[in-house]
Chains A and B, each alone.
Chain A
Amino acid sequence: MARAAQLGGRLDAVVFAACVLVALVFSGLPEPMRDPVASALRRTIVAPLIGMQRGAERWRAAWLESERQTLQRDSAGMFRAKSKSLEMENDRLRKLLGLGSRLDWGFVPAEALHTEGRTEDVITSMTLTAGSAAGVSQYSPVVAPEGIVGLVQTVDPRMSIAILYSHPDFRVSAMSADGAAFGIVYPHLDVGPGRLSERYLLELRNVPFRSTLAIGAQIFSSGVGGAWPRGVLIGTVVDSVAETERWSRTYLVRPAVNPAHVTSVMILTSERVLQGVGNIWTVSPPGDATRPLTVRRDSVRRDSLRRDSLRLDTIPPVRF
C-alpha cells in the first residue's frame, strides 16, 4: 500500500516535470515553430470560446452604446428645459428693466426667493434680497412689471420678507380703470377642496351696488389709505360673487402676477408711494426693455449719418 502511494507520488512528480518541460519548450520555441501550434489550438478548441467572447463583447458594446445614447438624450432634454427657463427669465428681466426705466426713481430692485421645502400648499410669502440698508421699510409695496406682488412685512439690514397677495392679511384699496367703481381687494380664502388653484384669485369687495364691472375689466390700486400708490395694476375681473348683502357687490379678480414666475421684483420706497407712480400701469403694460435701446441706437445711427453728410458737404472739392 505504501509502495503504491510512493509509486503514485513518483508518477505525479514525473508527469509534472514533463508538463513543465513541455511548457518551457513551447516557451523557448522560435516564433515560426510556435505559430502553427497556437494556430491549430485557435482553430479547434479555442474557436467556440472566442465566438462566445465576441458575442459577450457585442452585448457589452450595445449596452454601453445604449447608456451613452440615454445620457445624450437626457442632457439634450435638460438643455432644452434649461434654455426654456432662461428664455422666460430673460423675458422677465427685460420687462423689469422696462419697468425700472419707467419708474426712473424711488425703487429698490430685489430678487425674490421662494423658500425651499415649504410645507404650505399656497405660496403666501417670499424672501427678498434687499433690506433696510437699501432703503426698504416695513409695508413697502412690492411690484413686478405685471403689477402688484405683495407688501414687505419684516425688514432686516440685508433682506426682508414680504407677504404675497395670497396671504390672509393682504389688503389693497382698489378701483376700476375709469375710477367709477371702488372697493377693497382681499385674498380669495373660501376655496372648496380640490380647487386649490383658485386660492390665488382675489376678491374685490364692497363695490357699490350701482357700479357694475364687466368681465375682463382691469382693477388698479386706488391709493386710498396711503399704503399703495394709485394706479398699480392688480388684475382683471373674471366673475362676480353672489352676495347676501344687497348694497354692495363682490367680484373675483385674477391677479396680473403669477407668484410662481416671480423671480425679480421692485420694492417701492415710501417717497415714491407718496409721490405716486403716475400712469405706468394704466396707459400700457411695461414693454420690452430693448425697445427704447433700439430706438436710441437708431437715433444715434441717424445722427452719425447726418454728421457724415454734413462733413462731406464741408470738404472742399479736390482740384486735379
Chain B
Amino acid sequence: MRSSLAVRTATMCAILIVMHYTVRPLLGWRTSIDFLLIALVFGSVRMRPAAAAVFGLVLGLATDSLALGAFGAGALAATIVGFASSWLKAVFFADNVALNAIFLFAGKWLFDLVYVLMSRRMRGIEMLSQLLLWTPLTALVTAVAGVLVVTLLRPVYQGRTA
C-alpha cells in the first residue's frame, strides 16, 4: 500500500518535472508557472521531512547545474521549501484546495526569496521589484496552475478508491 503510494507520488512528480521543461517553454510567459516547485511541494507533503529535504536538495542541485554562478542557491531554497512543506503539512493536516494553493504560493515566494538572497545577483530596486512584484505574481500563477494540475491529475496520484 505504502509502495503504491510512493510510486504514484513519484509518477506525479515526474509528470510535473517533465511539464516544467515542455509546457513552460511553450507558454513563454514573463510570470511563468514553476512546475518544479509544484512537484517539490506535491512530493514533500507526502514524505517525511527528512526525505522532503533530500528531494529538495537533489531537485535544487539539478536545476542549479544550469544556472551559472548560482550553484547551491536553488538547492538551499528547495531544501528549505521541501522540509517546510512536509513539516507544515504534518502540523496542519488537511487536504483541501485552498490549503494547497496557500502552500504553493508561500513555497514559491520563500523559494525565490532564498534564491535571490543566496545567488547575490540582484541588488537594490531590481531585487525589490523581483521580490515584491514579479515573485508574488509568479507565485500566484504557480498556485493557480498547481491547483488546476493537481485537480486534473487526481486520478493519477489517487488510484482506485474502494
Name A's B-contacting residues (CB within 8 A). Answer: 8, 11-12, 14-16, 19-20, 22-29, 31, 34, 37-39, 41-42, 45-46, 49-50, 52-53, 55-57, 59-60
In chain A, what residue has the closest Cβ to B60?
A: A23
- Judging by beta carbons under 8 Å apart, are B50 and A26 in contact? no
CB < 8 Å: which of B25, B50, B72 contacts A24? B72
CA distance A28 to B69 in the complex (A): 11
Main secondary structure of the interface of A (DSSP, over half): helix
A-chain residues with CB within 8 Å of residue B75 when the two chains form the complex: 22-23, 26-27
- Judging by beta carbons under 8 Å apart, are B57 and A56 in contact? no
Return the CB mask of B2-27 against A: 1 if under 8 Å, else 0.
00000000000000011011111110
Query: Which of B49-87 touch A at CB < 8 Å?
Result: 49-50, 53-54, 56-57, 60-62, 64-66, 69, 71-73, 75-76, 79-80, 83, 87
- Judging by beta carbons under 8 Å apart, are B118 and A27 in contact? yes
CA distance A28 to B76 in the complex (A): 12
Main secondary structure of the interface of B (DSSP, over half): helix
CA distance A29 to B17 in the complex (A): 27
A-chain residues with CB within 8 Å of residue B71 when the two chains form the complex: 26-27, 29, 34, 37-38
Minimum CB–CB distance from B58 to chain A (whole Å) comes to: 8
Q: Tell me whether A46 and B72 are in contact in the complex, defined as CB-CB below 8 angstroms, given that A19-B79, A52-B21 are known contacts.
A: no
Residue among A16, A28, A39, A53 with most chain B CB within 10 A: A16
CA distance A49 to B18 in the complex (A): 7
Q: B46 at the A/B interface (Cβ < 8 Å)?
A: no
- Judging by beta carbons under 8 Å apart, are A60 and B25 in contact? yes
Other than the given A22-B75, A27-B71, 4 more pairs (CB < 8 A) read A12-B50, A41-B61, A53-B25, A56-B24
- Judging by beta carbons under 8 Å apart, are A56 and B22 in contact? yes
- Judging by beta carbons under 8 Å apart, are B66 and A50 in contact? yes
Minimum CB–CB distance from B90 to chain A (whole Å) comes to: 10
B-chain residues with CB within 8 Å of residue A22 when the two chains form the complex: 57, 75
- Judging by beta carbons under 8 Å apart, are B66 and A16 in contact? no
CA distance A28 to B118 in the complex (A): 10
Q: B124 at the A/B interface (Cβ < 8 Å)?
A: no
CA distance A283 to B79 in the complex (A): 96
CA distance A39 to B57 in the complex (A): 17
CA distance A42 to B54 in the complex (A): 19
CB < 8 Å: which of B23, B69, B76 contacts A20? B76
- Judging by beta carbons under 8 Å apart, are B73 and A27 in contact? yes
- Judging by beta carbons under 8 Å apart, are A49 and B17 in contact? yes
- Judging by beta carbons under 8 Å apart, are B21 and A56 in contact? yes
A-chain residues with CB within 8 Å of residue B17 when the two chains form the complex: 49
- Judging by beta carbons under 8 Å apart, are B72 and A42 in contact? no
A-B contact list, 29 entries, CB within 8 Å: A12-B83, A15-B49, A16-B83, A19-B54, A19-B56, A19-B57, A19-B79, A20-B76, A20-B79, A22-B57, A23-B57, A23-B79, A24-B76, A26-B71, A27-B118, A38-B64, A39-B65, A41-B61, A41-B65, A45-B62, A46-B65, A46-B66, A49-B20, A49-B21, A55-B22, A56-B21, A56-B22, A59-B26, A60-B28
CA distance A266 to B71 in the complex (A): 80
In chain B, what residue has the closest Cβ to A40?
A: B65
CA distance A12 to B61 in the complex (A): 20
- Judging by beta carbons under 8 Å apart, are A12 and B72 in contact? no
B-chain residues with CB within 8 Å of residue A59 when the two chains form the complex: 26
- Judging by beta carbons under 8 Å apart, are B76 and A52 in contact? no
CA distance A204 to B18 in the complex (A): 79
